[in-house]
Amino acid sequence: MASSMISNTTIPPPTSDRSHRIKRKKKAQSKAQQAQEQQQRLQSHAKWRSQAQQQIYSSKLHQALSRVNLSGGPRRGKAVREAADRVLATAAKGRTRWSRAILTNRLRLKFRKQKRNHNQQKAVGPARSKKARFGVLRLKGKTLPAVQRKVKVLGRLVPGCRKEPLPVILEEAIDYIPALEMQVRAMAALADLLFGSSSSTVAGSSDGSGLPPPI
């Protein structure tokens, strides 16, 4: 049983005793934990640039889009955009404000259309919980009206960050931008696959999925 536990990590030399193996397993586990935490610090880059993430997103997007397509109607473009955003927010796994805000907004709109009286209250706390009011604004150089204006504009662009202080907006933007880039890459690849010719899009990194020519 001990050997099966260890087979995930390393292959222990046959002469070591059991305590040695357990120590090695713990060391490997803590190293994996450290690597994981480090990756979470590099979260935005590693996560949104990985090929696996893009493929997962593409397939989920395609599933969602086939449902959208069935409903049809005059506003398909917007519906596609909303579906793409929703899948993107889901891929973020709720760790960032913008993703939670996207998902919350959709719920809010849906309920508002169906039942007016029922769900008027703001559904989710985390999108608006933290407000450091003045502490941030006293930083040198950041109280310039020009900078403040830009911060406000940026807060409006990133979903869910309208009333957040500067460092929160910066953090959200740092995660949001690679996510958007991945969204563009995945949708461009999908359009390419469906139609075989694509207009110029954000080159960035080639998605390298090696898609065969469309049928």
Partner 1 sequence: MSSRRSRSRQTSSSRNITDDQIHDLVSKLQQLLPEIRNRSSDKVSASRTLQETCNYIRNLHREVDDLSERLSELLATTDTAQAAIIRNLLMQ
Hey, which residues between 131 and 190 contact partner 1 (CB under 8 A)?
132-136, 139-142, 144, 146-147, 150-151, 153-154, 157-158, 165-168, 170-171, 173-174, 176-178, 180-181, 183-184, 187-188, 190
Is 46 a binding residue for partner 1 by CB under 8 A? The answer is: no
b/e code 173-198 from CB counts within 10 Å (16+ = b): bebbebbbebbebbbbbbebbeeeee
Is 6 a binding residue for partner 1 by CB under 8 A? The answer is: no
Binding to partner 1 (CB under 8 A) within 94-123 occurs at: 95
- For helices 166-195 and 97-114, the axis angle rounded to 10 degrees is 70
Is 14 a binding residue for partner 1 by CB under 8 A? The answer is: no
Smallest separation, CB 36 to partner 1 (Å): 9
In angstroms, the CA 92 to CA 31 distance is 25
3-state secondary structure of 82: helix
Smallest separation, CB 139 to partner 1 (Å): 6
Decide whether 21 or 175 has the Cβ nearer to partner 1: 175
Q: Which of 1, 37, 89, 108 binds partner 1 (CB under 8 A)?
A: 37
In angstroms, the CA 183 to CA 99 distance is 13
* Closest C-alpha to 100, from 119, 120, 126: 126
